[in-house]
Amino acid sequence: MTGSGKSVIVVGAGIVGVATALCLQMEGHRVTVLDPKAPGTATSFGNAGSIAIGGMYPTGSPGNLKQVPKMLLDPASAVSVRWSYLPRMLPWFVRFFAASRPSRVAQIASELATIVPTAGAAHLALMKAHRIEGIVKPLGWLKVYTGEKSFAGTREERETIERLGANVQILNQDELRQLEPALAPHFTHGAFQPDNHFVTSPVKLSEAYAEAFTGLGGRFLAEKVTRFEFDGNRVRKVVTDLGMYEADDVVVCAGAWSGRICRMLGFTVPLDTERGYHLNITSEDGPKLSRPVVVGDHSFVLAPMQDGIRLTSGVEFAGLDAPPDFRRIRRMVPLAQKALPGLSDTVTREWLGFRPSTPDSKPVIGSAPGISNVFLGFGHGHIGLTLAAQTGVMLAALVSRRMPEMDIAPFSAERFSLSV
């Protein structure tokens, strides 16, 4: 190990937080992670399990403005907004639609392409260093469609990520059947990204990183950060609901709760929450999939996890505090059964998680504005699992006062108009 042996507090124990803590520890730092929840049990628990090497295309895209009526009026829409939350969302949406212009989409995709394609290698290196095996598999990511019209609607995204280096293989009906025989035969078009990795249990990957971290002396404290004490432009102490801790540096990796942490630090970021749902469906005697499959016509994913088929679908804007609404995801079950004939209707878990999302689909990675010893790593949206280890490597370099090998300027919090 190298490094200056600093005392570092990481706020947040999701996949980004635990990967960052482990990377910091590998630099020789003494690391404590603060989170009221156990590692990987919040948003990191319930995703579709893809390390998405092609995940460079932003959520905002041309044509989004036309979808607003559907977001507000159609409860079955792939993206929905609760009316009661809309006033709070408006500033974020203004930025989001500005980032959806064609020129901005191309720029954002190019910037994400500087860090996303090597994200899988970062995970593999971290797992190899700590002998973590059997959780991540090189099985790819498959999107399927029932006709030319729905498939053609994804051309811009496909062509963009291909220009940026993603490997996308176009499959016909017969090739789809060969790749995933259990799928219904009515799918006629497919796009396969073979370089993606599949995490068969996202929570187990978080737990494996956490176990490696604690095995080397790292500390997890189940405590909630409530405020910070300053000495000039430095954080001197982190105060929780149960104690007070001094640290040389602080790293904020609190996912969807990072906006609240930033406000405690004296600045704001336009961070909101894309609420995502999943159902876990028993699969012991049912049809088998080899990898996550996106059913493009209806915007849901079927992922063969270790504990069953995970059906994930939809984005809901309603904030962190509103109760869950499982009606839309439940309506997806018959469509999932049509896509995967023989799929059980026995649901063993209903789950809601909170994706931390910026309006330009880029994470916030870098120094906190105006504070010399606080660093930020959050806002990864749909690619938090993908970029967790990569983010950890970059933050570990910053804490060690080295410039990361990759250009992090496009991901700085300074890109937003910050207000105190």
Q: What is the DSSP string of 14-47?
A: SHHHHHHHHHHHHTT-EEEEE-SS-TT-SGGGSS
CA distance 71 to 137: 35
The per-type count for the chain, helices as H runs and strands as E runs, is 12, 21
pLDDT of 417: 74
One DSSP character per residue, 80-93 reads: EE-GGGHHHHHHHH
Which CATH number is 1-55+100-134+200-271+358-420 given?
Answer: 3.50.50.60
Dihedral (CA of 139, 143, 148, 153) sign: negative
In contact, 253 and 24? CB cutoff 8 Å: no
Domain ranges of the chain: 1-55+100-134+200-271+358-420
Does the global pTM surpass 0.85?
yes
- Beta strands (DSSP E) in 196-326 are 197-199, 219-221, 225-231, 234-240, 244-246, 249-252, 272-281, 293-295, 300-305, 308-317
- Residue whose tokens read 């220009």: 163
pLDDT of 2: 40
- pLDDT tops 90 at residue 295: yes
CA distance 73 to 108: 29
Confidence category of residue 3, pLDDT binned at 50, 70, 90: very low
- pLDDT tops 50 at residue 118: yes
Cβ neighbours of residue 269 closer than 8 Å, sequence gap 6 or more: 258, 259, 262, 358, 364, 379, 413, 416, 418
> DSSP 3-state assignment of 418?
coil
Mean pLDDT of 63-73: 69
pLDDT of 419: 35
- pLDDT tops 90 at residue 1: no
For residue range 18-58, what is the model confidence (pLDDT) as tens digits? 999 999 999 999 999 999 999 999 999 999 999 999 999 99
Dihedral (CA of 303, 100, 388, 224) sign: negative
Mean pLDDT of 274-282: 96
pLDDT of 76: 67
Mean pLDDT of 351-372: 97
pLDDT of 65: 65
For residue range 123-145, what is the model confidence (pLDDT) as tens digits? 999 999 999 999 999 999 999 99
CA distance 117 to 53: 5
CA distance 126 to 393: 9
Q: How far is CA 53 from CA 151, 194, 231, 349, 385, in A?
A: 20, 9, 41, 28, 11
Mean pLDDT, the chain, whole residue set: 94
- pLDDT tops 90 at residue 61: no
CA distance 390 to 363: 12
Cβ neighbours of residue 323 closer than 8 Å, sequence gap 6 or more: none
Cβ neighbours of residue 178 closer than 8 Å, sequence gap 6 or more: none
CA distance 241 to 262: 17
One DSSP character per residue, 121-162 reads: HHHHHHHHHTT--SSEE---EEEEESSHHHHHTTHHHHHHHH
Q: Exposed (0-12), middle (13-18) or buried (19+): which is 420, by Cβ within 10 Å?
A: exposed
Mean pLDDT of 343-364: 96
For residue range 143-188, what is the model confidence (pLDDT) as tens digits? 999 999 999 999 999 999 999 999 999 999 999 999 999 999 999 9
pLDDT of 285: 84
Confidence category of residue 75, pLDDT binned at 50, 70, 90: low
- pLDDT tops 90 at residue 306: yes
